[in-house]
Structure 1
Amino acid sequence: MREALFIKRNRNRWRQIQDNPSDHPDEMAQEFIQLVEDLGYSRTFYPVSKTTLYLNGMAAKKYLAIYQNKKESGNRVIHFFRRALPLIIAKHHRVLLISFCLFVLFVAIGFFSAKNDEAFVRRILGDEYVDMTLQNIKDGHPFGVYGYGNAFLSFLFIFINNVKVSLYEFGGGILFGYLTVISLVQNSVMVGAFEYLFYNNGLLQDSLLTIMIHGALELSTFVIAAASGLVLAKSWLFPGTVSRIHALKQGAKEGLIIALSNIPMLFIAAFFEAFLTRHADLPLWLKLCIITLSLAIVVGYFIVYPIRLRRKLNAVHF
């Protein structure tokens, strides 16, 4: 058989294994057996071709996936956070980048819209909230809103509400991403208008240093949640070489996993907002440490680590 015909006959199956690998043990084993058979044929008839190198790498990854799955079956939680989740995130890094760019764009739109229209902040945040904040600024407690109420009850309310928002943005992806994008736009514009309110009163730096105690994590979850919904929408709109239903199932699974990865950060962000942000007089060094560590966790786990892990796996040869 000519190499071109060999590739044509098996190309779709290889792409399916590469882009949508199964995580079921029996199916993983079957995929590995098929790859080994294809690799043996390719080595026999096309020993120095790119096809053989490609199948060699594919088989190596599948072998490592099976071995790792058996090795870590006793501790699935660690395996999930060390390998499964980072690889899913790496697979959808472009979607995450799009979500981040939309967030930054609409924060800027919210900020400059407020700058050019005095009534914009009140339309976005509401008269009651704006009047309360302005009164707090006048009284010398610009961030007093974070000090109201019982800290523990505030923590529970914030955490539950933000989890609902995260899951809503994921679920919105089923309507071609429309609800996901609308939610991201609304939250982003609100952040921009909110920051302009403090900027207009000469408190932008104080605002960032105080609110980013919890905001570094919370705002990151906005981006990640929106990315989870866009992953679902992408699978529905652009199924690629597989059937639309199969792509939708895979997109729903991976999007939900990304959305649920927000929960630990939402928990910590809610704790920070309820128990720390209310103390606007925290030392500057402590604020900077919390913000820097939070950003390092987000960038490290959701950007740097997935890239390094994927490169490491791609570099392995069978």
Structure 2
Amino acid sequence: MRETTFIKKNLPRWKKYQEEPTEDPDEMAARFTSLLDDLAYAKTFYSFSKVTGYINSLAADIYQRIYGNRQEKDGRFQRFFLYELPLIFRKYHRLLLFTVIFFLLFCIMSAFSAAHDETFVRGVLGDEYVSMTEKNISNGDPFGVYGTGDEFVMFTEIAYNNIYVALSCFIGGIFFGIGTLYILMKNGVMLGAFQYLFFAKGLGLKSVLVIWIHGTLEISSIVITGAAGLVMVSGLIFPGTRKRLDALKKTARDAIKMMICLIPVFLTAAFLEGFVTRHTKMPIALSVSILLLSLVFIVGYFVVYPIHVYHRGFRLDEAGKVIKPVK
């Protein structure tokens, strides 16, 4: 049989196996057997053809499903955070980098505007907040706002606000990403003006040591949430070979998984702001340690570790399941 005839005859079936994976063990076994027959034929007559590699990859995928599912139910939670979630982030690292650059750009623009316009900070943060902060600075307690109120009430309110902002940023992705980009822009402008306010008063380093105890996790999570919102709509804008609706469903699942892991991060940031940041005179070593631990976690888990997992040979199949490297 000619190779073109062989491909034309079997391609619809192969495409079905690839695009419509099944969880039925009998069906998987039947597909695996069928692919082994095709692979044996291809290796015999077209051993150096690309179609042989293609069939081999389909067979390997089903093999991983059959034998990987035996341990699937055990350690599902562990596997999700150790392999599946990092691989999702690795898949969208470029989009995450774009989100970071977009956010930082508006932070820098905001600080630059504040440096050249005395009214800019008040216009962004509000007269009441700026006046209160300036009063606290004159009283020798520039970060006194973090020490007011009950710790638990403050934690609850901050956690609610953080999660609300995150969900708004995420859901904004539905509107072709415009809502997400707007919220990122708004928060970037606020952060730039906020930080400039303290640097202009000679409290830049002190503000970093105090505010970024919780801000490292909080701001990073907002940016990652923005990336998740853009991931969701990316399937609609860039569907690739899939139908737009199918691509949207796929990227929406990935985006929701990205959001799930951020909820405990937001709660931790709220805890730090409610219970820890208020101690503005804590030892510098302790403040730096908390800040660095937060930064190492964010960069480590969302950037470095996903690259490490990918280089170890782990991959995600079309259904989003982890494929282990073949030893």
Alpha-carbon RMSD across the aligned residues, in angstroms, is: 2.9
| Unaligned runs of at least 5 residues, structure 1 | none
Q: For 1:79-127, what per-residue CA distance to the aligned partner results, in whole angstroms no more than 9, with x for missing partners?
A: 2111221121111111111111111111111111111111111111000
Residues 206 and 38 (structure 1 numbering): CA distance in 2 closer, same or farther, change over 3 Å?
Answer: farther
**8 A Cα contact 2:3 2:46, kept in partner:** no
Counterpart residue number, 1:216:
216
Q: Does 1:178 align with 2:183?
A: no
Report the CA distance shift for 1:281/1:246 in structure 2 as closer, same or farther (over 3 A).
same
Equivalent pairs counted in the alignment come to 315
Contact 1:155 1:271 in 2 (8 A): yes
Q: 1: CA distance between counterparts of 2:224 and 2:218?
A: 10
Q: Deviations over 1:45-92 (max 9, x none)?
A: 332345544554564455445544431413322121112211211111
Identity fraction in percent: 43
1:6 corresponding residue in structure 2: 7
Bigger-Rg structure (1/2)? 2
Distance in 1 between residues matched to 2:122 and 2:222, nearest whole Å = 22
Structure 1 residues 52, 170: closer, same or farther in 2, change over 3 A? same
TM-score by length of structure 1 reads 0.88
Contact 1:60 1:316 in 2 (8 A): no
Point out the more displaced range, 193-202 or 77-86.
77-86
Name the stretch that deviates more: 139-148 or 45-54.
45-54
**Alpha carbons of 1:116 and 1:266: their partners in 2 closer, same or farther (altered >3 Å)?**
same
Which residue does the alignment assign to 1:102? 102
Per-residue CA deviation, residues 223-262 of structure 1 (Å, 9 max, x unaligned), is 1100011011211111110001101111211111112221
Shift of 1:8: 11
Counting only pairs closer than 5 Å after superposition, residues 283-302 of structure 1 correspond to structure 2 as: 283-302=283-302
TM-score w.r.t. length of structure 2 = 0.86
Question: What is aligned with 1:262?
Answer: 262
Structure-2 change in CA distance of 1:311 and 1:201 (3 Å):
same
Q: How does 1:87-236 map to 2 (within 5 A)?
A: 87-236=87-236
SS of residue in 1 equivalent to 2:282: coil
Structure 1 consecutive aligned stretches of length 4 or more whose deviation exceeds 2 Å:
1-17, 24-70, 313-318
**Alignment CA distance shift 1:207-1:179 (3 Å):** same
Letter in 2 for 1:26: D
In the alignment, the residues of structure 1 paired with residue 17 and residue 100 of structure 2 have an alpha-carbon distance, to the nearest angstrom, of 28
Q: Distance in 1 between matches of 2:29 and 2:168?
A: 37
